Structure 1
Amino acid sequence: MRVNILQHTPEEGPGAIRIWAHARGHQVYVYHPAQHGKLPSAAETDLLVVLGGPISPNDDAPWIAAERYLMREVMAAHKPIFGACFGAQQIAKLLGATVSPAPVKEVGWAPVTRQADVIPGLPAQLKVLHWHQDMFALPDGATRLFASEQIRNQGLVVNDNVVGLQFHLEVTEDNVHAMVVNDGDYVADSVLHQTAQSIETTPVPDENRAAMFQILDYITRS
C-alpha cells in the first residue's frame, strides 16, 4: 500500500502514522504542498493522510483548494482518508460543512470522549493533545466520533473509510518536542491553562498510539 501524507508545517509530522505504516509493510511518501505545491494523484494513492498546520480551509492559497480536489477524487474512489486537525477541517469543508473560529482556544492535553461505536476497540476516553482554535460543523451523513468538554465535534467518521480528528492522536514524544520548541507561544490564552513546558513534559499515553493504529486499520481494512 502507498501511504501519501500531506504535511503542512515542519513541526507537525506523521508520528505514529509513519510507525503504523512501516509496521504494516506499507510505503510512505510525504508531500509538502504549502512549500512545494506538489500533490500526488488519486490513482497513485492507497491511503491519503492530511496533517495539521497553521492554516484554515477558508484561506485562499491555491494549494488548499487543490488539496480538497485531490481528497474529493480519493473519496470518490472509496479509498481511505485520515485527517488530523486542519486535515479534519478539510474533510468537513469538502463535505459542505462550515469551519469557523471556536468559542475557545484549545491548546494542551485534555480528554476526549468517544461518541460512537463505529470503530471497534476504541477507548471510551483518551487524553490527547489539542493545538487549535478553529472547529468544524458535522457534515450531513457523518458520525460524531469524539467530543471534548469545550468543543462538541472533535472527530468524525464518513462511511467506513474516512476519519477526521480535530486533535493530534498521531503525535509521538518527538512530535510534541518539535511543536513546543517551534510554536510554543501558541499556548497563550488557551482555555486549558497549560504552559509550553507542562505540555512538553506530559508523557504521550500508550493508548493513543494503539487507538491511532485501530483507526488506520479500520479505514484500510488491515
Structure 2
Amino acid sequence: MSSENSPKKVLIVMHQATSDPGRVGEVIRTRGFELDLRIPAIGDPLPATMDDHAAAIILGGPMSANDDHEDYIRAETKLIDVILRSETPYLGICLGAQIMARALGAKVCEHHEGYREIGYYLLTPTEVGSPLFTEPMQAYQWHREGFDLPTGATLLAQGELFPNQACRVGKNAYGIQFHPEVTEAMNRRWATKAAHMLSDPGAQSAEAQFNGRRLHDTGLRAWLDNFLDHWLPVQASVSNDTL
C-alpha cells in the first residue's frame, strides 16, 4: 500500500467521558495522523475491522480487564483479536496492556502484597528490549493490577513490584504498564481526584510525583518519540509533496 493511500487515522480507545489522550494524542497529531477517539464505556461503537486505521491504542482507566460484566470490556477484548489478526500496529497503555494480556490468556491481578505503583518507578530493559528500551529509566505509573506475560510474548522491560512492564506480541503489538501520555495537567488532576489512593502501599505522595516529573519527564518524552519512530509505519506519515 502506498503512503498516499494508507489510512491516516489512529484509533484511540478511552474509558471515561473526561478521558484525555494527552501527550500521546498530541505527538501522533504532529506526525500527520487524525485521531479517532472512541469511548465504548459511554456507548461509542468499536470498528469491526481495522481497514480504515493505521494503528490502534487502548488507554488506561480505573476499571479492570477482569470486568467481564461490562459490555465494553468484552468488546475491547474482542477488538484485540481483530487488531492482532490484521497485524495493525497496537499500543496498550496500562489497562490497554492488561486487556491484551487477558485476551491472550494471561492473568491480570493485583500485587500479592497489595502494593500499588503510583508515581515514578524504575524500569530496566531486558536483553532483547533494545531498540525501544536502551537504558534504565524512571517511568510514570498509576495502577493496582499487573499482567502475566502472555504465551509467545517478548518481555522488553521489567520493574521491581510489577515485573512485566513492557512486552511485544507478534510484529507490532505492544503493551506497556506505564503512562507516557500523562501531561502535567493530567498528573495534577489525577493526584487531586484520586488523592485517597496516595496512602496505599507503594504509592508516592503528590509532592513526590511532581518532583519526579521535573526530574524524569524529559526522558519519558524522549522514550515516547523513539517508540513512535519504531511503532507507526513511516510511510503513513510522509506528506504527499515528498512523494
Same fold (TM over 0.5): yes
Gaps of 5+ in 1: none
Output the aligned Cα RMSD: 1.8
Q: Where do 1:173-212 residues align within 5 Å?
A: 173-192=184-203, 194-201=204-211, 202-203=213-214, 205-212=217-224
**What amino acid is the match of 2:78?**
Y
1:33 alignment counterpart? 40
Match of 2:31 in 1: 24
Equivalent residues, number: 221
Q: Percent of aligned positions with the same letter in both sequences? A: 30
* Gapped regions of structure 2 (runs ≥ 5): 1-7, 235-243
Distance 1:216 1:90 in 2: 21
Structure having the higher Rg:
2
Q: Aligned residue for 2:58?
A: 50
Give the structure 1 partner of residue 95 of structure 2.
86
1:101-156 superposed Cα distances (whole Å, 9 cap, x missing partner): 12221111111111143552533111111111111110111011111121111111
Structure 2 matches for 1:1-222, cutoff 5 A? 1-9=8-16, 13-41=20-48, 42-59=50-67, 60-103=69-112, 104-120=115-131, 122-192=133-203, 194-201=204-211, 202-203=213-214, 205-222=217-234
Does the Cα contact within 8 Å between 2:154 and 2:168 map onto a contact in 1?
Answer: yes
Distance between the aligned counterparts of 2:52 and 2:198, measured in 1? 38
TM-score for the superposition, normalised by structure 2: 0.84
The structure-2 alpha-carbon separation of the partners of 1:11 and 1:131, relative to structure 1 and needing over 3 Å to count, comes to farther
Provide Cα deviations, 1:61-105, integer angstroms capped at 9, x if missing partner: 011111111221111011011011100001101111111112221
Aligned-partner Cα distance in 2 for 1:15–1:63? 22
**TM-score normalized with structure 1 length:** 0.91
